[in-house]
Amino acid sequence: MELRYGAAPGARLESYPRLYSDPEEMAVVDPQDRLRPQLIEGQLLGIVRGIQELQALADFAESLPEDMPALALVDGTLILLSFLGQTFPDYVKRQLLQDEFLAALTRLRILSEKRPLAVAGYISLPGSTEVVNALRVSLCPYDPPDCDAHCRVIQPGERPCDEVDGLRDRDVLLRHLQEGERSGVFSSQSSVVRDWYGEHEVRFFYVNLGDEIGRVEVPAWVAQNDGLLSLTHSLIVDQSRRGHGYPVALSEAHEQAVVSGRDRQEFARLVEESLERRQLTASTSEKDLSKRLKWL
């Protein structure tokens, strides 16, 4: 969706449903071994959806007037955290992360060289502790800090760094930021970012939006550009004031994504008809079928 302010305000709200049924669309295939595809399901499905949202955002940005300052804002993190702790093969990471997600960020970076365009991810009520972990290091009396070497046998609560135990970044920043102010910019320590992101290395800052401390993530090329960083900060604050504490663009996007019960039933019918046209079986459980039938 697109929200425009200023002399020519306006909005563009769009939703593009898409049905996947071809086998090659429902799996990530290894070019070196096409007999063992990685099915797109579970967490991988969420990753693919996030990638497509970023690609759509890049499409939107390319259609904007070049003299219009803009913030391409996504809901949530720019770090594909689902890859952490998962044993996805490297070819899956290369195709989804490098060839698709990071390629979309590259499109946005190229656009930013021609016009004032920033990209950011907004995280509401963040649970991160990266800043707190830095405080732990500052409290550590050992040089260099080494938890395994010095604190393995110490009871929790008795370690020097336990002074900040239980705190989250937002708890610390709430005491130091006035409404509308942001923190300094920090670098993400995620292994996914370190290993894959390159020029799009994720930086982040916290901002006091009145009702909460929000976390804003940006690529390094935004963080290193004072103009784009200021644009991101000011528009996040402005959007949150318009949205009663939460960016209104994200709120409206959520509304567009809501699927009502009637819409869900109609969608299921369209899916079944589409599968039947392709001579594919549209199977369902008896439990699901019973929910669609009316009983006395």
Task: Single out the residue of 170, 185, 180 nearest to residue 228, CA to CA.
Answer: 185
Sequence-ordered alpha helix ranges (H) in the chain = 43-62, 90-93, 102-112, 130-139, 147-150, 169-174, 191-192, 220-223, 226-242, 248-257, 261-277, 286-292
Q: Evaluate the CA torsion angle 55, 57, 60, 61 in order and state its sign.
A: negative
- In one-letter notation, the amino acid at residue 126 is P
What is the distance between the alpha carbons of residues 48 and 112, in angstroms, rounded to a whole number? 24
What is the distance between the alpha carbons of residues 145 and 140, in angstroms, rounded to a whole number? 6
Question: What integer is the mean pLDDT of 237-246?
Answer: 93
Give residues with Cβ within 8 angstroms of 197, minimum separation 6. 102, 219
Tokens 């096409």 sit on residue = 34
Please report the pLDDT score of residue 35 as a whole number: 79
pLDDT in tens, 188-238: 999 889 999 999 999 999 999 998 999 999 999 999 999 999 999 999 999
What is the distance between the alpha carbons of residues 57 and 119, in angstroms, rounded to a whole number? 9
Percent of the chain with pLDDT over 90: 47
Element (H, E) at 123: strand 117-123
Two structure tokens written together for 106: 């590259």
pLDDT confidence band for 282 (50 / 70 / 90): low
pLDDT at residue 285 greater than cutoff 60: no
What is the distance between the alpha carbons of residues 38 and 231, in angstroms, rounded to a whole number? 40
Question: What integer is the mean pLDDT of 166-172?
Answer: 94
Please report the pLDDT score of residue 197 as a whole number: 95
Two structure tokens written together for 161: 């760094």
Query: Residues 212, 125: contact at Cβ < 8 Å?
Result: yes
What is the distance between the alpha carbons of residues 138 and 148, in angstroms, rounded to a whole number? 17
CB atoms within 10 A of CB 222: 26
What is the distance between the alpha carbons of residues 244 and 250, in angstroms, rounded to a whole number? 12
Q: What is the distance in angstroms between the CA of the first residue and the CA of the last residue of the chain?
A: 44
Give residues with Cβ within 8 angstroms of 69, minimum separation 6. 115, 116, 117, 231
Two structure tokens written together for 44: 């991988």
pLDDT at residue 53 greater than cutoff 70: yes
Higher pLDDT among residues 51 and 14, named by residue: 51
Q: Evaluate the CA torsion angle 124, 79, 192, 172 in order and state its sign.
A: negative
